[in-house]
Structure 1
C-alpha cells in the first residue's frame, strides 16, 4: 500500500480543519448520535446523563483549545492510512452522510421524532435520518481558506467535510473555526455592527420548547431570541408643554440554538411542557450598533459562541450578529463579484470613450485645420505677451510698472495713445500713466467725470471693450464731446481687476482715424491687463512688506530692549532668590542647631537648674522656627488671595494697649524711649483684629530692632475726618465726612534708610545692607507681609526717611462711630 502524503495547505486552512470530528457508522442509533453531539458543550441548564454505549459510535478527543464541529459524520469501512503518526493523518473510512443539529430540529418540528417516546430513538439507525453530503472539499496543495469560504456561501452550508483523494473522511470545516483562525483586525475594526446585523426570530419567554423548534424549522434559522415585552413612560418637552407617551419594545432574555435543542433531546425533555426560559442560554452579552466587528469577533472568541445579540441604549432588541456575518466581510466571492462589476463598468466606459473619440475625431480634424491657420498668429502674440510681461515684472515700483506697461502696449498695437485710469473712489477715476505719440495731446492727470466713468464701467460689465468709430457709436453727448476734445476717433478699453474688484482700466486710443479692432488685439490686451494686475499686486505687496519690515525692525528693537530689561530683572530676582535661600537656610538651621545642642545638654546636664535653662532655650528656638514658617505661609496665602478676610468691630481705645504694652518692656530693656500719642475718643472701626495686630507688631518690632540704644520710637494714632467741597449742601456734609474719614498710624524711629533702598524695602526677602549692626537676623519678609496685609484691609502704607528719622504711615479708610 502506498504511503499517505498529506498536502501542504495554507497555514490558515490547516489550522481551521477539525481533524477529530464526531463520526459514526450507518448502523449507529439516533440516540447515540444525539448523545455524541450533546457532550461537546453543556449549554443547556439541565444535568447531563451518561453517554449511551453503542458499538458503531466513534468519538475522538481533540485539543481542548479548539472548538469542535457540532455534527456527526457517517462513515463506513473505517480504516487508517499509516504513515507513522496517526494524529496527523487520520482516515475514518468512506463518507456517506452527515447529521447536523438542523436535521434534528427539522425532524422534531415535523413530528418524525416524538419527544415523548423516549425509547424510539434507540431503534432508529442514523442512516435513515442523515442528510447526504451535498458538497465536500478534497484536500490538495492548491486549496486555501478563501476557497472554503466560497463553498460555504455558494451552497449555504454550515459544515464542510474534508476528504482525501479516496473520498475517505479526513476532517471537517466550520465557520466558527475559520473565524477563530482568521483575525483580520484591520478590516473588522473599520466595519460597524449596525452594517451587518440581521433581524432575529423572537419568541416570548413562556413559549414551549416544541414551539421554538417549529419556529426554527419554519424560518430555517439556527437560533431564536427569547424576549419579554417592556414598556417605558417617556417625556418629550415641547414649546409650552411636555408630551408623555408609552414606549414599548422587546427586551432580550436569552437565546436558544439548534445545539440547545439537541441537548434537550439528549436529556429526553418533554418539548411540549418544557418552557423556553428553562432551556435558554443566559446571561447574554450585548453589543451596541456602533461597536466594531472586531469587538464582536473578540466576544465570540471569549464566550465560545457563534452569535451575539445587539441592543440599543434602553436595552431594546435591535438585531443579531453571527459568525456568518463576520465571514461575509472576507468572502472572496463577494469581492470577486464587485471586481467583476467594476470591470464591466470599465469595459462599458472604454466602449463609450471609443465611440466618443470616433465621433469627435472628424470635428477635431476640422478644428485642427482651423486652428493651424491661427497658430502662427498665436505664437507671435504669446511671444510679445511674454516680452511685455518680463519688462513689467522687472520692477517692483508701481509707477515704473504702469509707465512701462503703457509704453509697451502702444508700441505693440501701434496706437496713438495708451493710458491707465485708476479708480480713486466709487465713481471717480484719474489718469495715472500715459504713453502718447508726439503730435497728440496728453491727458495725464486728468480726472474722469463720474458719469463717464460709470458709462465706461457699465460697458465693461457688458463686455463691450472696442469702439471702432465714435461717430457711429451710441454715445451720450457729453461723453462724445469729452472724447472729441481728447482727439479720440476709436478706442479700446479693458478692466484691470484685483481679487475680483475693479482697480482701474487700460485705454487704447486711436486719434488719427477710426480703427477696426481685431479680436486678437482685444485678447492680447485682456491678457496684458491680467499681467499688469499681478504686477500691481506684487508692487503693493512689496511696499507692504517694506512697511512691515520697518515695523518689525522697530518692534524687534523694542522687544530687544524689553528682553534686556527682563534679563536684568531676572538676574536681580535670581540674586534675591540666592539671598533668600541663604537667609532662610541660615534662619532655619540656626534654631535647629540650638535646639539640637540644648537637647544634647539636657542629656548630660547634672542639675535641674541647668535643665530648666536648656528647656527655655528649646522653647525660644522652637518659637523662632515657628514664626519664620508662619511668616512664609502667611505671605504665600496673601499673594494667592485664597482666604477671604473677615471683618469685625475693633474698639481702638481698648484694643491698642494690648498690642503696644509688651513693647514698653522691650524698649526699656534696650534703653529705648517708646512714646505713644493717640487722639481722644478713637472710634470703633470695622477691621480684622489679627491682621491689624500683625501690622502694628511688625512695625514696632522693626523699630525696636533697628533703633540704637537711648534712641526714640514714636507711635501716633489719629482719627481724621473729611471736609466737604466748597459750596456743598448741608445735607451732604455728613455723607462726605463719612466717606473721607480715616484712621492713621504713624510710627517714627531714630534710624535712617538711604533713598536708593527705600523703594525696595517692601520687596520679599530684601534686607537693607548694613542696617543691622547688632546681627539680630531676619528673613526680609516682615515688611512684605505688612504691605500685603494693608492692601488686604484696603489701606495704604507709605515710608520716608530724612534727618535721621524713618517714618512709616499706615492709613485705613473707615466710618466713624455713630455714637
Structure 2
C-alpha cells in the first residue's frame, strides 16, 4: 500500500483508510461475507492470506476487488441486499461475478480539499469512495464514518437540532415480516435499514376492534450489516422474522436534541444511524451518517460559519458591554468601599474625640452642642438635636445644629401627645428607629402634620438611657432624652454605619450624664420648664418624630 501523498492536507489524509479490506475477483462470495461480518475465521474458510489486507481484522461494510494491483470493482452490503432480495443463490459464486464494476473513484491528485470527496459522495449517493493513483492502483478508501471521525464537526453540529437534517419518511415494517421482505424493501426503497415498529393505539380498555391506531413506536431496526451477518450464517431469509434478528433496544434521540449529542452517541456506540422519536416514543424520523455529512456541504458550511460569525460578533458585543458594566460596577464598588472606609475612619476619629470630651466635660450643654455640630458635619443631615425629657411626654431641645434654612428648635419646650407609655418603654429598652420616608409608613394625619410642621421627611431616633441613680445602679433605668438626626429636604436611606455611629454617640453622651451626676453628687434630673434655655415663645404640641406609629 502506498504511503500518504505529501501534498495532501492533514484533514484529507486523515479521511483515507489506508488499509481497506481487499480480495481477488475469484474469492468466493461466502468467504467475502465471512470477512465482512467476522462470523468465521480466515483459517476456517481457507482464504488466501495474499488476498487479505490487515484491515480485515475490523468488520467492514465493503471490500475492494483487486487484480494485478489494479482496482477492478467494489462489493458492498447494498450489493448483498440486492442478491438476497432476488433470492440469488450464493453457492459457488465468486465476488468478481457480482461486484459493482463501474466504481466511482477519486484520483489522489484531485484531493485538493475535503469538499472534493464530500461532493462526490453526495452527488452519486455512495458511502464508499476508493482513492486511486494514475495507474488505478488503490491507495485507500474514504467512508462516511472515516470522514466524520476526521472532521470532528462539533462546532457545526452544536447549534443544529436533529430535526433539521433527519429523514422524516422512514421505511418501516412490522416485527413479523420476513428477512426476505426486509431485503426487498431495502432494495426497492434504496435504503440501508428498515425500522421495525409496533402500533400505538387508543381505546386499549375496549374490544380490540374498537382500538384506533394513532402512531407507530420503534421497537427495533435491521440494517444491511445485519443481513450480511445472517447470510454468512446461511440462515433461510424466507423463514426468519424480523423480530428474531433486529437490534433492540434502540438508542433513540429526540428531534429537538442537538446534532452534536447524536453524533457523539453514534461515535461512542459505533452506530451508523439513530432512530428519532418524540417524548411519547412515537417514530418521527431517522438520522444517518449521510444526514450528518449534509451539514458539511460548502453551502451549509457557509451558512453555519455566517451564523457562527454573527453569534461571535454578538458575543463580543455582549462581552464588551459586560466588561464595561463590570468595570463600572467595580469602580462603583471601589468608590463605595473607599467612601465606606473614609466614613468609618472619620466616625472612629470623632468617637475618639467625643470620648476625650466626655471625660473632660464639666457642662452638659457645652458638650452636647459640640457633639451636635460635629455629627451634623459628619452625617450631613439637615438637623441634629438632643431632646431632654421634662415629663413623660414633654421636654426641651437642649442642643441643635442645622444645615440649611430650616426652623430652629433650640430652647423650645415641646409637648408630644403621641409619646405614650408604650413608646417610652420601647426607647427605654434601647431600641432605635430609622425612617427613610414619612410618607412610606403608616402615620396618623395628626402625627404627619406635626412632622410636616417641623419640615421633617426622614429621621433617626436613638434613646439616651441612664441609671435612675448612678450611685445605686439597681434602682433601674430612666429615659433621659433622645438623640435625633432629621432630613428636611428629601427622603433619605440611612445606612447601617450612620445608625451604628449614633448608637455609640448616645452611649457616650449617657456616660457623660452619669459622670456629671456623680461629680455633682445628684442623680440625673428631668429638665425644668423654667430652664434658662426655654424661650418665651413655645410651639404648641410639637412632635419630634418619636411616635411608634
The interval holding the TM-score normalised by the smaller chain is 0.5 to 0.7
* Aligned residue number for residue 220 of structure 1: 190
State the 1:305 CA deviation.
2.0
Aligned to 2:417: none
Name the counterpart of 1:801: 526
> What whole-Å deviation, never above 9, does each CA across 1:315-346 have from its counterpart, x for those lacking one?
2211112222222333359999xxxxxxxxxx
Q: Distance in 2 between matches of 1:161 and 1:761?
A: 84
2:73 paired with 1:74 = no
Q: For the pair shown, which has the larger CA radius of gyration, 1 or 2?
A: 1
Distance 2:93 2:344 in 1: 104
Note the C-alpha offset of 1:167.
1.6
Write the distance in 2 (CA, Å) between the matches of 1:756 and 1:4.
94
Are the structure 2 counterparts of residues 193 and 578 from structure 1 closer, same or farther at C-alpha, using a change threshold of 3 Å?
Answer: farther
Higher relative CO (Cα under 8 Å, sequence separation at least 6) belongs to: 2
Q: Does 2:166 align with 1:197?
A: yes
Matches within 5 A, 1:655-694: none
Map 1:8-407 onto structure 2 (within 5 A): 8-39=7-38, 48-51=39-42, 52-56=44-48, 58-62=51-55, 69-77=60-68, 93-113=69-89, 121=91, 123-140=92-109, 143-189=112-158, 191-198=160-167, 199-231=169-201, 248-332=214-298
Which protein has the bigger helix share?
Answer: 1
Asked if structure 2 preserves the Cα contact closer than 8 Å seen for 1:69 and 1:172, the reply is: no
Checking the alignment, whether the CA contact within 8 Å between 2:16 and 2:146 is kept in structure 1 is: yes
How many angstroms does 1:133 deviate by? 3.4
1:63 Cα deviation after fit: 11
| 1:695, distance to aligned residue in structure 2 (A) | 9.6
Shift of 1:262: 0.7
Task: Give, in whole Å, the separation in 1 of the partners of 2:14 and 2:485.
Answer: 89
Structure 1 residues 803 and 233, CA, compared in 2 at 3 Å: closer, same or farther?
farther
Which residue of the partner structure matches residue 770 of structure 1? 512
Contact 1:212/1:224 (8 A) holds in 2:
yes
Residue correspondences, number: 366
Cα separation, partners in 2 of 1:202 and 1:764, compared to 1, 3 Å:
farther
Q: Label 1:208 to 1:576 Cα distance change in 2 as closer, same or farther (>3 A).
A: farther
> What is the distance in 2 between the residues matched to 1:328 and 1:279?
30
Question: Any gaps of 5 or more consecutive residues in structure 1?
Answer: 40-47, 78-92, 114-119, 235-244, 337-566, 584-691, 714-746, 775-798, 805-809, 814-819
Q: Which moved more, 1:104-113 or 1:293-302?
A: 293-302
* Cα distance in 1 for residues equivalent to 2:191 and 2:266: 19
In structure 2, relative to structure 1, the CA distance for the partners of 1:251 and 1:312 (3 Å cut) is: same
Distance in 2 (alpha carbons) for counterparts of 1:255 and 1:289: 18
Question: What whole-Å deviation, never above 9, does each CA across 1:709-732 have from its counterpart, x for those lacking one?
Answer: 47995xxxxxxxxxxxxxxxxxxx
In 2: Cα distance, 1:167 partner to 1:17 partner: 16
Whole-angstrom distance in 2 between the partners of 1:307 and 1:268: 26
SS of residue matched to 2:73: strand
TM-aligned CA deviation for residue 101 of structure 1? 0.6
Structure 2 CA distance, aligned partners of 1:261 and 1:98?
Answer: 18
Question: Where in structure 2 are the equivalents of 1:351-500 lying within 5 Å?
Answer: none
Q: What secondary structure does 2:53 align onto?
A: coil
Contact 1:7-1:139 within 8 A present in 2 as well: no
Query: Counterpart of 2:347?
Result: 575
Q: Deviations over 1:89-131 (max 9, x none)?
A: xxxx122122111111111111113xxxxxx64x322222222
After TM superposition, give the deviation of residue 202 of structure 1 in Å. 0.8
Q: Secondary structure at the match of 1:20?
A: coil
Partner Cα distance (1:180, 1:578) in 2? 74
For normalisation by structure 2, the TM-score amounts to 0.55
In the alignment, structure 2 segments of 5+ residues that lack a partner are 205-210, 303-338, 356-423, 432-463, 487-498, 517-523, 530-545
| Aligned equivalent of 1:646 | none
How large is the RMSD of aligned CA atoms in angstroms? 4.9
Structure 1 length-normalised TM:
0.38
